[in-house]
Chains A and B, each alone.
Chain A
Amino acid sequence: MAKFSKNDDSLVVIIGSGAGGGTLGMELAMKGIKTVILEAGGRHGPQDFVNDEWGSFGQISWLDKRTTSGDWRVSRDFSGLPAWIVKAVGGSTLHWAGASLRFQDHEWKARTTYGDVKGASLLDWPIDGKEMAPWYAKAEDHMGTTGTNGIPRLPGNNNYKVLAAGAKKMGYKKFHTGNMSINSQPRDGRGACQQIGFCFQGCKSGAKWSSGYVSIPKGEATGKLECRSNSQVLKIEHDKNGKVNGVVYADKDGKVHKQKARVVCVAGNSIESPRLLLNSESSMFKNGLANSSGQVGRNYMRHMTASTYAIFEKPVYMYRGTTMAGIIQDEAINDTRRGFVGGYELETLSLGLPFMAAFLDPGQWGREFAASMEGYDRMAGLWIVGEDMPQSNNRVTLHKKIKDQHGMPVPNVNFSDHENDIKMRNHAWKQSIALYESVGANKTIKTPPYPSTHNLGTNRMSAKASDGVVNKYGQTWDVKNLFVSDGSQFTTGAAENPTLTIVALAMRQAEYIAKQMSSKAI
């Protein structure tokens, strides 16, 4: 395992170790490029993950102070917790459920496909499905995605069987147990899924892919990658020519260090990445680093989400087995006859009893709520995930007064639904309620969005420098040796869970960075 000097100015420094940063670190190291990942959280793995929702929440979640505003219900019910993401080596790939879906071709061209949607700041991505296809294939192979590379799909659990029976009754055609980066059979030195459940709490068997215990160790094995945990970056610094040359970070004791760098890649998730760029303002970059467009922090997307839970006469035990055990894709199309642009996926989801109490209908109490909880073992459930509209004022900003434990302004996340999001959510609730009623549900519950897990768009990719923060390789328009490597570079969100696309983009970016470095362009 490499250990690099803080004065080594030949390094690529990656901030964050999740789907983007962890993958990029592995790829660069495999190309022989000396790389250090600075990760704000600690290192955890299958050996110390716990099958305990609140216990795990305390162990791996990002719990540093954040504030919220806007009309979303999360801001009312969980005002200090806009996002349900992870602060640990592996980032939110410890928490993710494993769904690995490719964007559909039309989703790369949202502005062209959907037209001028009032109030939305839609753009086309400067890349397309054809360009991304080989990178998707490489990502699926690395992650061991079921339904690709000859890897069989996982068996469906009880929750999936209810979903599938309802899907059939509804006349849906495209439903199956998903493309999941969870081993259905031993592969890549990791065993097969034991249907433990608790996918959100870090996979105890290691069957689920995570950058934390899969990709980063592969990078470390080359001797070219150092993953420095408990190192929270506070500021990116630059030289007088406007090139970045290092980062300032705090260690676990709060002691501040400087790490020199040849290239800096920001991959701290869509809240922390713009926060860091905005906090790295200087006399040369008065509005924050890489922010000549004014787009840093804007166009925050979180996917149009919600859940539907249905209570039956007989037991389901939806918590047994994988958390996300199957998917219906028939509604993930662009059919404006439904009253909105874009589409959504229906994916099974379960929560344990403790989280069900917290999230089923936050703030509710009394006999009706208690009765729903008493139906817990007879519940089936699904998560709705659809494309939401980017909006300029849905944004991450630095709080003017409140600072974190290191003296860095906390981020405020402002979000309000677009009319299109609301119409899509209502359609999805209607369809999923009809689905569960078709197989005998006695009661259905519309569960509002959880704190965001898919945080996207706050440093978006654009064809023109004035429209976004980064170019088609995630390289910032303003600073050529500064990159964005996480979901914040998403131009639009598509209907699919974002992790596979983040990994594919990181692999593609690694090749670009290696070429730029060898040609001395950066």
Chain B
Amino acid sequence: MRVLNKKAISRRSFLKTGTVTALGLTIMGPMVIGKNNAWAATFKTLGADDAATLIQMARDCYPHDFLADKYYAKVIEGIEAQAGKDKAFKSMVSKELKKINSSAKKHYKVNYKDINRELERTDILKKNSKSPLFKKVQGDLVVGLYNNQEVWPKFGYEGESASKGGYMNRGFNDIDWL
């Protein structure tokens, strides 16, 4: 059976990651940066703090421990772009984040993203699941995260196959464990 190695880094995505890192070094210089600061350059409208909260929310919606933050951040970039164009949307985002944080403080004494346990964070999300912001994040993510071709190999999905001649000679019927 042609079994895929889900942990392998394809050359293409390796090169991409390499480029991003190289670029980051050029811009940032060789200083040690915290997780939040890393988002400051990308999320100019939302700000590093709100962006980090949204990225945590994204991960809690679809928690895959083998996926780096950048895959979740990619989807939040859509919210950043919309907030940059639409004032009403931007104020909805900050209003709803305040609500979620105050709910987190009430139940767990700290802001949402600073709650350490996933179960407790998802408890806050469940309490706020009707929030238009939560719905937006969840809806964007379920499409955006799983439609990112860079994550497909990690789930064992091969994507486009016509250009490779389909699976006629590439394991469409090679199951060997039944």
Contacts and interface: CB of A to CB of B under 8 A. Distances in A.
A195 B152 CA distance: 20
B116 interface: no
A7 to B, nearest CB: 44
Given A365-B138, A373-B64, A374-B64, A316 B175 contact: yes
A224 interface: no
Interface SS of B by simple majority? loop
Contacts of B174: 158
A162 B167 contact: no
Contact of A354 (B3, B143, B161, B177): B143
Contact of B63 (A165, A314, A367): A367
Interface in A145-201: 155-158, 160-162, 165, 193-198
A320 B160 contact: no
Contacts of B159: 51-52, 352
Interface in B68-101: none
B74 to A, nearest CB: 14
A366 B61 CA distance: 5
A195 B157 contact: no
A204 interface: yes
Nearest to A380: B175
Contacts of A195: 166-168, 172-173
A198 B168 CA distance: 14
Given A51-B162, A54-B143, A369 B62 contact: yes
B162 A204 contact: yes
Chain A, interface size: which category? Answer: 35 or more
A156 to B, nearest CB: 6
Contacts of B147: 53-54, 354
Nearest to A352: B157
A467 interface: no
Contact of A317 (B62, B156, B165): B156
A353 interface: yes
B156 A377 contact: yes
Nearest to A378: B156
Contacts of A157: 167, 172-173
A1 interface: no
Contacts, number: 126
Which of A156, A317, A357 has its CB near the most chain B CB atoms (within 10 A)? Answer: A317
B178 A161 contact: yes
A257 to B, nearest CB: 37
Taking chain A's interface residues, is the majority helix, strand, or loop, or is none over half, making it mixed?
A: loop
B162 A205 contact: yes
Nearest to B60: A366
A475 B66 CA distance: 60
Interface in A342-375: 352-354, 356-358, 363, 365-367, 369-370, 373-374
Nearest to A158: B175
Contacts of B62: 357, 365, 369-370, 373
A373 B61 CA distance: 12
Contacts of B1: 315
A135 interface: no
B6 interface: yes
A439 B175 CA distance: 13
Which of A204, A353, A356, A370 has most B Cβ within 10 Å? A353
Nearest to B141: A365
A268 interface: no
Contacts of B120: none
Contact of B173 (A53, A197, A321, A358): A321
Contact of A353 (B4, B157, B166): B157
A442 to B, nearest CB: 13
A319 interface: yes
14 contacts: A52-B160, A155-B173, A195-B168, A197-B161, A204-B162, A205-B166, A317-B158, A319-B157, A353-B155, A357-B142, A366-B63, A370-B64, A377-B155, A377-B157
Given A319-B158, A321-B166, A373-B146, 18 more contacts: A50-B160, A51-B161, A158-B174, A195-B166, A197-B161, A198-B161, A205-B162, A315-B4, A317-B4, A320-B170, A354-B143, A357-B62, A357-B143, A366-B122, A369-B62, A370-B63, A377-B156, A439-B178
Interface of A: 50-54, 155-158, 160-162, 165, 193-198, 204-205, 314-317, 319-321, 352-354, 356-358, 363, 365-367, 369-370, 373-374, 376-378, 439
Interface of B: 1, 3-4, 6, 60-64, 118, 122, 138, 142-143, 145-147, 152, 155-163, 165-168, 170-175, 177-178
